[in-house]
């Protein structure tokens, strides 16, 4: 589906406009997922910009609701990223990545679930959970 997605490039401004004034509300409130996703997308963008490269980033969603938060185009293929505001990633959080792999098996490389915790762990099928701090 072609659906545009809008991100703020400043999570502080996002929180201010959403009326979030305390870090604990940002981390555990109803906007936690959107804030984590915005922060991760901005970090990926910055990594391209700081290398002088043009970012090729996409959002994938099917008509049935399957989605991947971020697809990063690389010379090796598309790298799917799911972004979760949790410290305890699980294999179920990679469902969208697995659906994407079924849809485009030749296009993808490894997949990652980016999370707010501190552990790196395999989630199976070439998918790894990575802490946000690794971006």
Query: Could you tell me if residue 2 is inside a domain?
Result: no
Could you tell me the pTM of the whole model?
A: 0.89
Q: What is the pLDDT of residues 24-49, one digit of tens each?
A: 889 888 899 999 999 999 999 999 99
For 58, phi then psi, to 5°, come to -140, 165
Indicate which CATH number applies to the domain containing 32: 3.40.1350
For 31, phi then psi, to 5°, come to -95, 5
Give the range of the structural domain holding residue 105, as residue numbers without chain letter: 11-134
* pLDDT at residue 6 in the model: 80
Q: What is the pLDDT of residues 68-126, one digit of tens each?
A: 999 999 988 999 999 999 999 999 999 999 999 999 888 878 999 999 999 999 999 89
Flag whether pLDDT at 2 surpasses 70.
no
Q: Which helix (H) or strand (E) holds 122?
A: strand 121-124
What value does the CA radius of gyration of the chain take, rounded to a whole number of Å?
Answer: 15
CA distance 121 to 135: 15
> 81 vs 15, 19, 20, 129, 133, CA distance in Å?
23, 28, 26, 10, 14
């Amino acid at each position: 589906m072609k659906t545009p997605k809008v991100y703020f490039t400043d999570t502080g401004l996002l929180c201010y406009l959403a009326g979030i004034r305390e870090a604990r509300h940002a981390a555990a409130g109803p906007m936690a997922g959107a804030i984590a996703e915005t922060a991760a997308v901005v970090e990926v963008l910055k990594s391209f910009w700081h290398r002088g490269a043009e970012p090729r980033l996409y959002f994938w969603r099917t008509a049935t609701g399957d989605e991947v938060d971020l697809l990063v185009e690389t010379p090796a293929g598309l790298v799917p990223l799911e972004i979760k505001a949790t410290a305890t990633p699980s294999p179920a959080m990679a469902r969208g990545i697995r659906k994407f792999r079924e849809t485009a098996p030749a296009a993808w490389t490894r997949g990652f679930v980016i999370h707010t915790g501190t552990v790196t762990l395999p989630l199976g099928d070439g998918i790894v959970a990575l802490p946000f701090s690794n971006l």
